């Protein structure tokens, strides 16, 4: 059996694969000895041998085995696909082979591996595009219930208006609101206070201005945020989050020069769209610069807990961004 799980809704792709793994373990493999998982991005011979070997292996004291391969289908070029397809053609019927890729359905369905294997018998596809409209509301309500949150449809609509259809963000905000509400229904006041309307485009534009040393543009963005009523403490949190994301992304890239957005999305648990923006921006930053900024950010965070005004912390961090860029 071959299963394709794919789509630009990375959270649902990840969770569908995990769900299938759990059901497999419960039905075929209580000892959890017949499941292998791989993340494959570049199709190197060493990786191919290991993955194909696992897929072709016989189950150990069980009827079936499962092999989950993340990122392979969307990352291979056509010329690289043949060797993989030769290996997959000899996978026994006892193996359940799952390909999980966080990439838009239309793009993945053009991949050579998909187009070839889809013609075989016993192949199943689970496209996971980003949800919209009623489907998004239904999914989000289910997530709210899973987190023990009580939220009326009108309040859910208000939340979605602030988050958009980013499933990672929706889930994170529902977890936060559920914890804050502590069993009470989530109301408008909670959403307004806790869920910031923010644009990833805006924060990356701000970071781009900082990284390029464009003082006037960066300070202009900062002034716009303050004029719009943004809280300095929240802005500091956004800046700190970006520093940490950049530092983590820099580490991924330094360990794998061929890293792609899927690598960052999975390593940092972020949406692929954000991962692509991060991949574009982080190459402007050296590890030394980011470590310096992170050290300052840590000191400022401690100082705010002992009386430093948040607006001063933001100004000092922004000034340091511009100084080290």
- Return mean pLDDT, the chain: 86
- Residues of 59-84 as b/e, b for ≥16 C-beta within 10 angstroms? beeeebbbbbbbbbbbbbeeebbeeb
Nearest to 106 by CA among 68, 74, 139: 74
CB count in 10 Å sphere of residue 49: 12
At residue 325, the pLDDT reads: 46
92 Rama sector, left if φ>0, alpha if ψ -120 to 50, beta otherwise = beta
- Residues of 90-111 as b/e, b for ≥16 C-beta within 10 angstroms? ebeeebbbbbbbbbbbeebbeb
Distance CA 38, CA 47 (A): 9
Mean pLDDT for 264-280 is 78
pLDDT band at 230 (very low <50, low <70, confident <90, very high): low
Distance CA 103, CA 84 (A): 20
At residue 324, the pLDDT reads: 55
102-154 pLDDT per residue, tens? 888 988 999 999 999 999 999 999 999 989 889 999 999 999 999 999 999 99
Least trusted range by pLDDT, from 79-88, 101-110, 200-209, 265-274: 200-209
Q: Which residue is associated with the tokens 């607006």?
A: 311
What is the DSSP pairing of strand 150-151 with strand 2-6?
Answer: unpaired
Instruction: List, in order, residues 6 or more apart from 313 with CB less than 8 Å away.
Output: 232, 236, 300, 301, 303, 304
Instruction: List, in order, residues 6 or more apart from 57 with CB less than 8 Å away.
Output: 65, 95
Cβ 147 vs Cβ 178: under 8 Å: yes
Looking at the predicted structure, is the pLDDT value of residue 312 above 80? yes
Distance CA 270, CA 61 (A): 38
Nearest to 94 by CA among 34, 40, 36: 34
């Amino acid at each position: 059996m071959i299963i394709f799980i794919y789509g630009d809704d990375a959270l649902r792709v990840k969770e569908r694969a995990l769900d299938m793994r759990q059901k497999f373990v419960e039905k075929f493999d209580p000892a959890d000895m017949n499941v292998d998982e791989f993340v494959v991005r570049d199709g190197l011979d060493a990786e191919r041998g290991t993955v194909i070997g696992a897929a072709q292996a016989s189950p150990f004291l069980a009827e079936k085995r499962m092999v989950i391969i993340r990122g392979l289908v969307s990352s291979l070029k056509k010329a690289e696909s043949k060797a993989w397809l030769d290996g997959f053609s000899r996978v026994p019927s006892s193996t359940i082979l799952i390909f999980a890729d966080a990439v838009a359905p239309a793009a993945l369905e053009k991949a050579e591996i998909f187009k070839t294997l889809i013609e075989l018998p016993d192949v199943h596809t689970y496209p996971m595009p980003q949800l919209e409209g009623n489907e998004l509301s239904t999914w989000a309500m289910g997530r709210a219930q899973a987190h023990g949150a009580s939220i009326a449809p009108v309040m859910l609509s208000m939340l979605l208006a602030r988050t958009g259809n980013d499933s990672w963000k929706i889930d994170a905000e529902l977890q936060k609101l559920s914890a804050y509400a502590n069993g009470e229904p989530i109301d408008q006041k909670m959403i307004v206070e806790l869920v910031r309307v923010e644009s990833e485009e805006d924060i990356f534009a701000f970071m781009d201005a900082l990284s390029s040393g464009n003082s006037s543009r960066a300070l202009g963005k900062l002034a716009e945020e303050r004029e719009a009523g943004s809280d300095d403490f929240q802005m500091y949190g956004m800046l700190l989050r970006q520093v940490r994301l950049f530092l983590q992304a820099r580490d991924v890239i330094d360990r794998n020069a061929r890293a792609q957005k899927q690598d960052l999305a999975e390593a940092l648990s972020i949406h692929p769209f954000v991962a692509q923006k991060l991949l574009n921006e982080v190459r402007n930053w050296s590890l030394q610069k980011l470590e310096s900024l992170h050290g300052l950010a840590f000191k400022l965070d401690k100082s705010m807990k002992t009386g430093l005004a948040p607006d001063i912390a933001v100004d000092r961090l922004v000034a340091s961004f511009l100084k080290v860029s």
